[in-house]
Amino acid sequence: MLKKVPNPIDRHVGSRVRMQRMLAGVSQEKLGDALGLTFQQVQKYEKGSNRISASRLQQIAKMLDVPVSFFFEGAPTGDMPTGGFSDSAANAYVSDFMSSSEGVQLTKAFVRIKSAKVRRRIIDLVETLAEEDGANG
């Protein structure tokens, strides 16, 4: 039997829910309790394996203090890319990173840095490390 693949929009919306939940410091269990769900149901929403209804998405948006439209930002459109590295592929990569615990930790720490000069130097460092890792990979 073939495993059902989640719809790309459902996966995107779920990953945005996960990202915002993690940035807000809310556990799956806490979000589930507030919605009257188990944490396993929240996990399925975040993976895109369960589709989130419009009313439930509105509840989640209110609880995480974002507009409903936030969950659709950068969503795949279903249009065929015009060649090369598509924006939707790049968006998916960024969205996956931002949904990871490392992405959330890095983002939280980075935005606390007040100095634009220091932030720029960190970006330069990370880009240099990525280039070296790519060359040695």
Higher pLDDT, 31 or 86: 31
User: Any idea how long the chain is?
Assistant: 137
Query: Of 10, 25, 11, 109, which Cα lies nearest the Cα of 63?
Result: 25
- pLDDT of the residue at 83: 45
pLDDT in tens, 44-71: 999 999 999 999 999 999 999 999 999 9
Contact indicator for 57, 68 with CB cutoff of 8 Å: yes
Kindly tell me the burial class for residue 69, based on how many C-beta atoms sit within 10 Å of its own C-beta (0-12, 13-18, 19 or more). Answer: exposed
pLDDT at 2 over 90: no
**pLDDT averaged over the chain?**
84
Q: What is the pLDDT of residue 26?
A: 92
**Residue 121 reports pLDDT greater than 50:** yes
CA 40 to chain centre: 18
pLDDT tens digits for range 67-100: 999 999 888 776 544 444 455 555 666 667 777 7
Number of H helices, E strands in the chain: 7, 0
Residue at token pair 């070296």: 132
